[in-house]
Amino acid sequence: MGASYRADQVGSFLRPAELLKARQEGADPQRLRAMEDRHVQRVLAKQKELGFEIFTDGELRRRNFMSDLIDAVEGFDTGDAVVRSWEGSAGVAVSSVTGVVTGKLRQRGRMTAHELAFLRM
């Protein structure tokens, strides 16, 4: 029997160019959600195929590293925030806004509730 190797997914899967482009172009929210669902199902199937025991949606629904936190709490201001741009994979331009804490942070909702609901389906 050959050697056994352990693999765990930590962090994001690469976002498909189709998904990045749709976000950049301001796609209709329903169309974007259907596209995200399709790509999340694809990465879940790949993890199952590879024998992973713990699954992730690959963070494909997140706009950027901080988006879920900014959406889940009040006390951030993105009005005077710093915008960072770079060219991602497949030549797709990506921008990120870093929020500024302007007040006491208070939870508005669960950070991953929308992701968990889909994964339980």
At residue 3, the pLDDT reads 77
Angle, vertex CA 113, rays to CA 78 and CA 73, nearest 5: 30
User: What residue ranges in 20-92 does DSSP mark as E strands?
Assistant: 73-87
Q: Is the pLDDT of residue 55 over 70?
A: yes
Q: Where are the domains of the chain?
A: 17-119
Pairing of strands 73-87, 93-107: antiparallel
As a whole number, mean pLDDT of residues 83-96 equals 72
**Element at 34 (helix H, strand E):** helix 29-49
Binning pLDDT at 50, 70 and 90, where does residue 38 land?
very high
* Gap between the Cα atoms of 99 and 80, Å rounded: 8
pTM above 0.85, yes or no: no
At residue 68, the pLDDT reads 84
Between 61 and 6, name the one with better pLDDT: 61
From 24-28, 74-78, 90-94, the region with the lowest mean pLDDT: 90-94
Q: Is the pLDDT of residue 27 over 90?
A: yes
